[in-house]
Structure 1
Amino acid sequence: MLREVCRDVTTEPTLLHLNGEHVQYRTANTTNEARVDVSDARGFWTRGQRAFMDIRIFDPMVACHQRITLEAAHQKNEREKIRNYGDRIRNVDHCSFTPLVFTTSGGMGPKAKCFYSRLADVMAEKKHQPSSHVVAWMRCRLSFSLLRSALLCLRGTRYSDPTTIDLDGLNYQATVVESGILV
């Protein structure tokens, strides 16, 4: 979906090497092969600035999360991602960083909600579709992606070539109405 609204989107881009720069946190990833999950070339958050995103999916029912609220678990996971990559990306790569934290059931952390909201707005504007229908369509896609990931963990791999969906001619409103997704 990000490729629809931004140019030069790449997966697992390598971060710039550290040349004497110091990062704030001891837990920061300082290896020369450090990678994040997604890079958007320019203009997602700020015009002309690259944006990096790193994804974490966690199970809120795990013992380490059961004694804290769901909101606190999201914030804890976001803070860990920011400690690992945020300072390095801001100060060495001079880019923005957004941790995308999800639960296995589709819940989103605060920064992921902001990211998805911005992505939906940009997609709706570009495709001349109602924002509410684009959001419903995106949430449905996210739910199926998480479901596929969970099934893969349970069943193991059954490799098939990845399929891509051509979003150029997609009418989000018709798709949402036809599938019966509530807006």
Structure 2
Amino acid sequence: MPRRLHRTNSFPLNGEHMQYMTANTANEARVDVSARGFWTRGQRAFMDIRIFDPMAACHRRISLEAAHQKNEQEKIRKYGNRIRNVDHGSFTPLVYTTSGGMGPKAKCFYSRLADVMAEKKHQPRSHVVAWMRCRLSFSLLRSALLCLRGTRYSAPTTIDIAGLNYQATVVESGILV
């Protein structure tokens, strides 16, 4: 069961050869999030996030599914080989659209995360999923607003999920389950 998610650096390369030319070979390479024991007990899971606009010119001529797959493959080419062979972990690209859509691997990640959180907190899975969707919607909204208005520094915030009442949060938000 994962204990915490945190930003992490990969191990430095020591002469390893990467499969793709687009692989990140810098010693300071870092993915967005990692957790120990998320997919497999004892193994580190690494996740990197990408949010894309499906209405952008580069995505207009392809289907939404193809755009998700293209973005997932770019992340896998950049980090997947290195994480498997150097860090000995698993890699999951978390790809979202600006309107809240998720790529196939992100859907699997969120499903697993909901299962783990529901079991750990003894809450109904449906309440946990509703809470997670609400949090994701607001995160994507903040991200879109940041792109529109520019950056403003604010101290990072953390959420203490230990004392969170999922059912009360879902009821207060008016989200239908």
Do the two structures share a fold, i.e. TM-score over 0.5? Answer: yes
- What are the superposed Cα offsets for residues 41-67 of structure 1, whole Å, 9 maximum, x if unpaired? 421000000011110000000011011
- What are the superposed Cα offsets for residues 92-141 of structure 1, whole Å, 9 maximum, x if unpaired? 11100000000011110000000011001000000000001101100100
Contact kept in structure 1, 2:83 and 2:89, CA below 8 Å? yes
Structure with greater strand percent = 2
Runs of 4 or more above 6 Å deviation: 13-17
Contact kept in structure 2, 1:14 and 1:34, CA below 8 Å? no
Tell me how far apart the structure 2 counterparts of residues 128 and 14 of structure 1 sit (CA, whole Å). 16
Aligned residues: 170
Tell me how far apart the structure 1 counterparts of residues 64 and 172 of structure 2 sit (CA, whole Å). 33
TM-score by length of 1: 0.87
- Gaps spanning 5+ residues in structure 2: where? 7-12
Tell me how far apart the structure 1 counterparts of residues 52 and 87 of structure 2 sit (CA, whole Å). 27
Contact kept in structure 1, 2:127 and 2:170, CA below 8 Å? yes
Contact kept in structure 1, 2:69 and 2:103, CA below 8 Å? yes
Tell me how far apart the structure 2 counterparts of residues 165 and 15 of structure 1 sit (CA, whole Å). 12
TM-score by length of 2: 0.89
Equivalent position SS for 2:31: coil
Contact kept in structure 1, 2:31 and 2:47, CA below 8 Å? yes
Percent of aligned positions with the same letter in both sequences? Answer: 90
Tell me how far apart the structure 1 counterparts of residues 20 and 149 of structure 2 sit (CA, whole Å). 38
- Gaps spanning 5+ residues in structure 1: where? 1-12
Tell me how far apart the structure 2 counterparts of residues 95 and 62 of structure 1 sit (CA, whole Å). 33
Contact kept in structure 2, 1:15 and 1:89, CA below 8 Å? no
